[in-house]
Structure 1
Amino acid sequence: MSVRTIPVSVPDNKRGRKLRRRAWVLAAASSVLALRIWVLEPVTVQSDSMSPTIASGSIVFLVKPGPWLQEPRHGDVVVFTSTVDGSRVVKRVVAAQNQSVEIQDAVLYIDGIPQDEPYVDLESMDGTYSPLTLVPSGQVFVMGDNRERSIDSRDYGPLPVEDMDGIIIGVQ
């Protein structure tokens, strides 16, 4: 006498395929929504303070803070909410905590060392000075690449790291 085995899988019928397809669509939509809520967010740049690196009206992607996000470093482009008008602001980190910042004749000095900033038009800023500032612990000094048109840490001081919404990806 032979023993017959009964298949355990769901029969490949129209209803089964439809249910599997719906489950995959639901899983994909949930993943995209979770990614958007907790990790990655599109942001529209609303000013020309980061020009020519990021033009006004451009859409950039913000990586939100979390265990995957390290402390911001020199050169990172960050987003935060303005304390003046509540708008989202995009600026570049030029100095981290415990560093000194100074601008002499349009050249940025960090800890007394002149910085190479190919994205800044030094000729449009000729004669610009900013006093020596020490960045406190837990804060960063941010500036726009379009230094002539940027309202930044030179105006309102260093930015607390916890006030940042995240770091923009894909910007050099």
Structure 2
Amino acid sequence: MAKKPFILDPAEIDTGKVIADINEIRRYNPQRFDMEQLTAVCYEDPQQAVCAGYKDLREDEFWVNGHFPGLPLMPGVLMCEAAAQLASYYTLKHRLMNAPMVGFGGFQDVRFRGIVRPGDRFVIVVRLLRARATMMTCEFQCFVKQSLVCEGVMLGIPLTPEKIRAGYDGDSANP
């Protein structure tokens, strides 16, 4: 099987060029405290629908003591969460869906290819494949020191505070 090309060459991502810090990210994403999985956004190309950002992993991340004691590894679900937060930021900033929030709709073809530890800079790249009123689809790739550690495709759905308060009704066509 041929190796899939990078969305962006990780060697060419300048994480020193911050175009959105945590305060700017918070304008679009509702996550706070331990659930904030982005430190900054460092690249945007609206013509190609590509965005890159990163999370600087600290020694005091909430998962460090338990995943795994003495050998902390970033949980795969948090790698996916970071990618989803970057996709949400991009989607909401560019008003690609008519919703105040974007939530997980699903994942496809996710693969974990490396280890991520406290002290690492976890770099995420997303490319929007399509955005409609009811669903957003994008591919993502995540890197540590230019090594691919996670990749996949995610689906995003529009959310409103009213839908969240009402709860899930069991109808997958109407989240």
Instruction: Mark yes or no: TM-score above 0.5.
Output: no
Question: Normalising by structure 1, what TM-score?
Answer: 0.27
Q: Which structure's CA Rg is the greater one?
A: 1
Question: Normalising by structure 2, what TM-score?
Answer: 0.27
